[in-house]
Structure 1
């Protein structure tokens, strides 16, 4: 049924209203600018005319004021001011440098001649030798008065102040003229608004008539009658809309015929969807469940159909149907088992008829197990990085604050504080460098520069460097020895030398850190039929069994306090694992608490006869 539209709700009214508002805005802007410019121009002209009058009077008075022996000065000035008049001039006075009034043009106020002026503007003009202007309202007549006080400067080059001219003028007539022009402008605006209303009504009628006919046709289409056609009045946008409605009436009938085929196709799509889909009746009982949903929930169609969706999703204790639909966010469902982690995310929506009647609920389930794992690892990674950077920064800040407070003056304390600050800076640089290396490896941007290397010689080179470090230290913190157990056979493998040296350095540094005083670090080099195995054993405190699966995790430390005090970043073994895996090898650890730890590195290689390389 067509609802009758009131005039104030109609497009006719809205178009007229918009036209009037636009006109008012335009008139306001133009009027404000015009009146303001007119006011400025008229006031400037008025003031300029008064300045010219004062300048003429200045030139006339100079000969009289220069003549110091003129005994009839007051009479001559009085006659001169008596003839001085102009548009709106109320009073003109001449005051000498001693502040005495020499004459006034006001015939009713001649008694002030010879008296000392108390006007502040006059005093200021005499003191600063500059003109002053002011405007005020006469308390008796409420007219606006414009006042000009101008010093009389001798034009003989001496710049002597001969006196002051004080001029009072009535500027009210200028403002009255502006008000009259403003009234004329407002009357013209009202006439323009009336014409605009008539024009807007004419335009709106031309627009709304085709729209009314199109509305009538669409109502008939909604009632199932597609035989009518909308009359086309023009070839503009409304004409194109009329054509579209006529085409729509034909196509809607065709669409109804294909609805049933689409419904059958939808059933096929639901069956093969990668997301789980569950549909219920208005009581929340499951009526449709596709194959993926049954696989996710580990149920069969027979056991699921007819059961409450809350029961199948194991949310009957937390939600009711109403609360489930009022929750705008997607819900998370954890169906994980010790053997098979599974986290689902479900979104719910209503199935409603045209009348608004709720006939059921649709739930779409997504498997977000992998995303949750990645998100958890990301949060842990950000937390670890923040913590690892915060610790050295806090330490550096404490030492730097102590240096700022005066510790830099102490020759014993300052070097130690600076050394600690440098060590913490180096530690952060190492950590950031390790993070960048891991980032490049994760992104696949770190290419291996492979070359055939003699593994025996490479390991000997690495261990020689550590032997040299031990021997070059005058006061080593711990005394330990490095023992080598290498196979006599020369082993060659295709590796990236720099990255592999970084791996062996990380393992050796860990062995040195955790070896006791007087301990022995044993390095072995062995071969199998298709791999070379390198192991590094220490006699340190060992690693607890529960921590062994995590030693290659990023930022993982068995003893966090001790590892941090030794300058570790918690990334060395993680980088080593990435490097070894990119070489197609393996790295693992074996440890016994209180007896020591052994790290193993296995790299693939092809045995060869030495004669082939001669």
Structure 2
């Protein structure tokens, strides 16, 4: 930074310039005054010559009167003028200086011969110093003729004229120079003292801009600079308090955003990400890796730009500057999105989006709708049959006892079917609510397997299905289990296997021990050689009313769609797990793991 670009240099240059201008103006006036009012050397010579001629006119009559010359010297001393009378052939009268110091012998001879002599010489003054003099010698003639009888010699110090002028000028120049130097020094000193608090304020402001909000300046006076320092300290204190409050609010907001289960992402108008909480960063990373519909891999979405599913929504929010709420389906997930514009000076500078994963809610809502539809369908079919057959009996459409018996049998079967459906629904509702009654106790698996095998053996023979029960040599004992509920599990699994196994195929019942979660457990398996389950249906088969075979009729041989859901709840109540392996066209294996001592 140059000297003219800071306040010290500007003030210093201003003061020095002002003093210089004043001194120059005073010098000009003084020099003008000296040149106008002080006599010059030529004028001094002319005046001295005129005075000398006047005296010459009077000396011819008083050439031998020494008192006259003494009186004249007394008068002329007031003007620092000396007078001597050089007589012919020799001798002098008057004067304080020896004639030899004024005129050389040759000059004396010339003066006595009638020559006017003007010269400058140096002689010792009364103080002992050499001093320059102006001298003039004018011949004196005798009255009545032109004979030279002597010469008047007058001399005067040149200092009284131009030397005095030069002395005064040099003195003024020296005084001006010294004054200029002193003014420069004191101006610089004063300006430094004045600007020192300003420099401290500048340094403190720089520190505050760097984040050191606790910076304060020293208040060393009670003048305007002191008031400025106190005001600056007050401003810095309030700024520090405001920054602390903003940081606290920012930290609270950051903690809130980071603790939210919802994803929060903000974008600018250039589709760049401004902020994202951890959940939002996860979404940006996952969605950024998806290629979407762009075949060019170089155009895939970057992690710091708006994802493809939000582009249209973002453009709508920016163009219409309104809050938009919608749901997005991204791959297998469903997201609820609320996007609002961000304003700056009444203009949209971006948008903030709040995304919530509502896949489970969407799935549950779908299950609820399917549940209502399935229950309505399951109840409507038997109710329609009950209503139709009962009307046929009431209207005496059938007359023979055999037909009446057949209708009554159908009504009875449908009522049993409705009863099973209602019972399964009540059991499932109690299980999911945690109110399922469990009679826990020690039990052996072999008797349970034999009982279930005998129960379904006749049905399998009727359908030409071979049912095999493979039991190990050592029986397995469950320390805490509900025998009736486990029989229900096997019943539901065998019922599904029989319904989906073609004649001539086999179904296997077996169990064994294994290690499950670092403890001993029983592995119960029901394997069939049926039609199998498509892979896309496997994740949903344990849901209520879900049936993999959508085209299968729901006749008396069809299930309610609740069996596997009940199986899952019973197994989980025993702290176990149920899994399924299936190959379409080859068969399905359900595996139930139950801890021996949960």
Please tell me the TM-score bracket, short chain as reference.
0.3 to 0.5
Structure 1 length normalisation: TM-score? Answer: 0.46
Give the TM-score taking structure 2 as reference length.
0.47
